[in-house]
Amino acid sequence: MTWRPRPSHVVIGGGLGVILVGGLLVLAPMFDAARWQSSPEATRAERNADAPTPIWLAPTAVPTLAAAVPILATVTQATTQPAQPPPEIVAAPTAEPVLSRPVGLAANIVPQPTPTPQASDLQLASSAFVFDDSPEPGAHAHLDLTVHNPTDTAAGPLSVALPASWLRGYRLESASPGLVSGTQSGADLQLGFNGPAAGADLEVSISFVTTDEVIDSPALTVYDAETRLVGRAHPPTQAPPARPGPIYSIDIPRLKLHAGVVPVEWEPPLFVVGQVRTSAWVTRGNSVLVGHVRGAPGYNVFINLDQLQPGDEIVANSRGQAYNFVVSRTEVLPEDDTSPTEASSAAQLTLMTCAGDWNPITRDYPDRLWVVAEQKAHDDDAGGQTTDAANASTPNG
């Protein structure tokens, strides 16, 4: 006897299939989100989106610290004997930075007890984080702080803790006075110095070189010899005026959109905006930005891009400087028409996402929406360079 499915079996099987497909549609964004959150691109996007606006300074020459002790990037086990000479801190050579992969700090991880945040007699009197030249990869910066000892007893060694996550993008160069210890414990790098004499101040200067597109200052914590809390600070960034560079983030007031921007070859990234690597730095030609329109919330960063109209404002942020643009035109073109990405001698933003009806067979849209914005005439456009815009097949939205 040949078995034949009953209508009820077909209905049940179809229902189970719908449930299975629905479950996959729900779970897939969750897996993508988890994978994204642990990626270097997510770290970069968050850091770019939160990049501060520095206090702009007049350009100055890089200071020479006569008493500075060179630091290479790896730290060693701490010593509690201040009378001993400062230890040498040796590391493998640092490779040239890759903008899509934040540079990590190579360090010996030494388990340390979590400091008890009790008050110390010492006082963190001041702190400052200053770029010596325009913020960009290879720029010099220094962290200065003053610790005051109001007591009549000389202080023992103290520790300056810097977040290891912040150091991805900075390379330690020198310290004045010289270090007596250096350890990485958990999420912090702790640098040890001999404490101030009785009734005196200790002035510390730690120099860095940027290895990536970063401008943010560190949230630092200072502990005394008994791991009591001396003070915490997050000084503002101070820097000479920045030259135009890659776009860190964009703001579109009409869409209430603020999004980090990361470098991409061509395909839009998940959750944030991508700048095509071969497109121009901001104000140096045609800067091409791409983003998704479909998918779960978060994927579709450009879901409302079609609402933009000529005259709407777009702000591109680069190296702490905001550059204002105004939408000049929008157009929908076939997906293989990449003419809006062509190089331009004028300062221009070109935003792109998918358009038309989703084709489940090709898993693509047939068209692309292009939004072109021109720079406002009053924006300062000093320094920088131009690169050609992309000329490749159009990415999926």
pLDDT for 245 equals 97
pLDDT for 202 equals 97
pLDDT for 148 equals 98
DSSP annotation of 356: S
Fold of 243-375: Sortase; Chain: A; (2.40.260)
Does the reported pTM lie above 0.95?
no
pLDDT for 249 equals 97
Q: Tell whether omega for the bond before 236 is within 30 degrees of 0, i.e. cis.
A: no
Fold of 55-239: Immunoglobulin-like (2.60.40)
Exposure class string for 131-147: b at 16+ Cβ within 10 A, else e: bbbbbbbebebbbbbeb
pLDDT tens for the chain, residues 1 to 397: 566 666 665 556 555 555 554 444 445 555 666 666 678 888 888 999 999 999 999 865 544 444 454 554 444 433 333 444 444 433 333 333 333 333 333 444 444 555 555 789 999 999 999 999 999 999 999 999 999 999 999 999 999 999 999 999 999 999 999 999 999 878 999 999 999 999 999 999 999 999 999 999 999 999 999 999 999 999 999 999 999 999 999 999 999 999 999 999 999 988 899 999 999 999 999 999 999 987 656 678 999 999 999 999 999 999 999 999 999 999 999 999 999 999 999 999 999 999 998 888 777 889 999 999 999 876 444 444 434 444 444 555 5
Neighbours of 212 (CB within 10 A): 19
Here the tokens at position 47 are 């850091």
Are 129 and 218 spatial neighbours (Cβ–Cβ below 8 Å)? yes
Question: What are the residues whose beta carbons fall under 8 Å from the beta carbon of 147, sequence distance 6 or more?
Answer: 122, 123, 124, 125, 155, 158, 195, 196, 201, 202, 204, 222, 230
pLDDT for 82 equals 41
Enumerate the domain spans of the chain: 55-239, 243-375
pLDDT for 157 equals 96
Are 249 and 209 spatial neighbours (Cβ–Cβ below 8 Å)? no
Judge residue 160's burial from the number of C-beta atoms within 10 Å of its C-beta, 0-12 exposed, 13-18 middle, 19 or more buried: buried
Are 190 and 183 spatial neighbours (Cβ–Cβ below 8 Å)? yes
Rounded to an integer, what distance in angstroms lies between the CA atom of residue 123 and that of residue 200? Answer: 11
Rounded to an integer, what distance in angstroms lies between the CA atom of residue 14 and that of residue 206? Answer: 66
pLDDT for 5 equals 63
